[in-house]
Amino acid sequence: MKLTDTTLNKNAKSDDVRPRLVVLTFIAIGLFLMLISRLWFMQVMAGEKYMEMAQGNYIRSIPVEAPRGIIYDRNGQVLVDNRPSIGVSISPAVVENNPELLETMSDVLRMSVDEIKERLAEKKSDPLKPRIVKRDLDDKTLANIEEHKMALPGVDIVTESTRGYPHGELGAHLFGYLGEISDEEMAKFKQTGDYLLGDIIGKTGVESVYEGLLRGQKGSQQLEVNASGRPLSVIRDEDPVPGHNLMLSVDLKIQKAAEQALKDAINRARSGSGGRFTADAGAAIVLDPRNGEILAIASNPTYNPELFIGGISKKNWNELMAKKNNYPLNNRALMAYPPGSTFKPVTMIGALEDGLITVNDTFNCTGKWYGLGKKWAKACWNHAGHGGIGVLRGMAESCDTVFYVMGHNFHKDGQERLQYWARELGFGTRTGVDLATEARGRVPDKEWKREFNKSNPEYQRWYPGDTVNIAIGQGDLLATPLQLAAFYGAIANGGMVYRPHIGKAMISWDGNVKREFKPKPEDKKRLPVSKDIISYTQASLQMVIEQGTGTGSFNGFPIKVAGKTGTAEVRGKDDFAWFVCYAPVDEPKFVVVVLIEQGGHGGSTAAPAARQILAAAFGLNDQGAGYVYDPSR
């Protein structure tokens, strides 16, 4: 095949390429005009918009957290405050470009790489925001970081305000702890505040209930950052506004006494000569019966709320949730338990009001009660029997036979009136206390039993023994220590039930009261019980201390006390020890409830703890009653 070079073809026409050149020229001119018009649009018409976008590439606004309000006791003593903390922060954006930084900081901070990664990844907020990976640096670590600062890009020393707990674990269940806001909480607070993912909020206790008051208003900081996101300079600062301070009704002195008394009671139950019990937990409450103010609320085992500062580690969280540690996050003052004999005043009040017994009735206790037939005989705790016994002494000595008869009378009446009275006197419903996670308790009836056993029809029937068990505070009945405190407070003051509350006032930063949390009309109600029966109940509870099951624990105590022991049976566990009382008898100022899980008998374990708390509340130098043995239930 022969190839021909047209450029050498002298016969080719010169105007063959001209149309092409014309087209190319017009295309070039069109593209140039389009470019010019686009530049004109960007510079003139949309210049301001693109300037803002350009600035956004190197200016970032970082929210600055506001200090939370300080929490005081009723006398102005600091319970929870804020303290300065020197920590170290690392920028996640810098770590992405310098992964070797993690190994270096692991050596400097004496933390594992995984721990540092956990801290860097735990926040859901702005990815450019530096994460504090360690707080409260010691002087040696601080000096080491400062000395090698140029070799540690994205690492900064920061000073922040963090929650301070000057009394350590004291009141942990009362105050609660802080934690990172969840998606569910974000939705809840969407209309109520400027919350962002990654914000720290109150999770439990008063920190949660009074979140809106304690939380301040955020500030902001505008930073100039480079292409990798590292801050270069501060452009503008807007200071945050601190949260409001909160005064509680709690008395620090009484709170300390309650927590110490709980520890002592648990140790006493574990090592006492009257029997060694598991005694693995407990609760104590002190309430003012004149207004419902909570003066102390303690739960054991407890925890250190400082563990949650900056986010709790997986290791610490797993320990708090471990069964072997008996779930220290639980506030047992608000949990529900079988109340045992501390419920007997409810049974007596209902039976007297309904005319099922009279104050003059007598009963014959032989140690066994056969009211349901020999096949279902029930024992009194005193197996030898109390003999002939009246209602007053029946309460004083906690005679089960007396209350079996009352319970049986309720059953024969057929109207579930014992359940009615339990609910009227505050059981089976929340008290409305300004603390989170309060249990309702349970007042079982026919409907509840049918529903509870819907998968087991053979267990749905309500038997006479079910009502009889409720009458002595057993069976499926459950009550919280706080419910008992509110009920006994109403007996103490003559019949008025006050909603228990912990918040007292909002305090300004100069120490003045800005707003008192005064009770509303719906925060109190009068028991539907006659004055005579209230007075009779008071006399029966006073007799418990003077001549009954509480005598040994209050022997020699200089102030008159009225109360009730209780020993609740729980299947598969040691007995739960209860004691509820109020003092002074004539003008009650304090109601005390003590519960020791698996602590044995109420008079032996719980009552001495109540005496210890009352002594502190009254400012007495009391040595206690020494060893006390109470076999009652």
Report how far Cα 436 is from the mean position of its chain's Cα atoms.
5
Helix, strand or coil, per DSSP, at residue 431: coil
* β-strand pairing of 71-72 with 245-248: parallel
User: What number of other Cβ atoms are within 10 A of residue 30's Cβ?
Assistant: 10
Q: Which of 529, 532, 578, 554 has its CA nearest to residue 626?
A: 554
Helix (H) or strand (E) holding 186: helix 183-188
User: What number of other Cβ atoms are within 10 A of residue 425's Cβ?
Assistant: 22
DSSP string of 22-45, one letter each residue: HHHHHHHHHHHHHHHHHHHIIIII
Q: What is the rounded CA–CA span in Å between residue 358 and residue 261?
A: 39
User: Hunting for tokens 């045992």 — which residue is that?
Assistant: 340
Q: What is the rounded CA–CA span in Å between residue 525 and residue 496?
A: 6
Quote the DSSP letter at residue 606: I
Q: What is the rounded CA–CA span in Å between residue 311 and residue 304?
A: 13
- Helix segments in 524-622, DSSP class H: 531-547, 607-618
Q: Which of 200, 171, 161 has its CA nearest to residue 80?
A: 171
Active site amino acids = 341
Q: Which of 622, 620, 594 has its CA nearest to residue 298?
A: 594
Q: What are the structure tokens assigned to 299, written together?
A: 């739960």
Q: What is the rounded CA–CA span in Å between residue 367 and residue 379?
A: 6
Helix (H) or strand (E) holding 157: strand 155-164
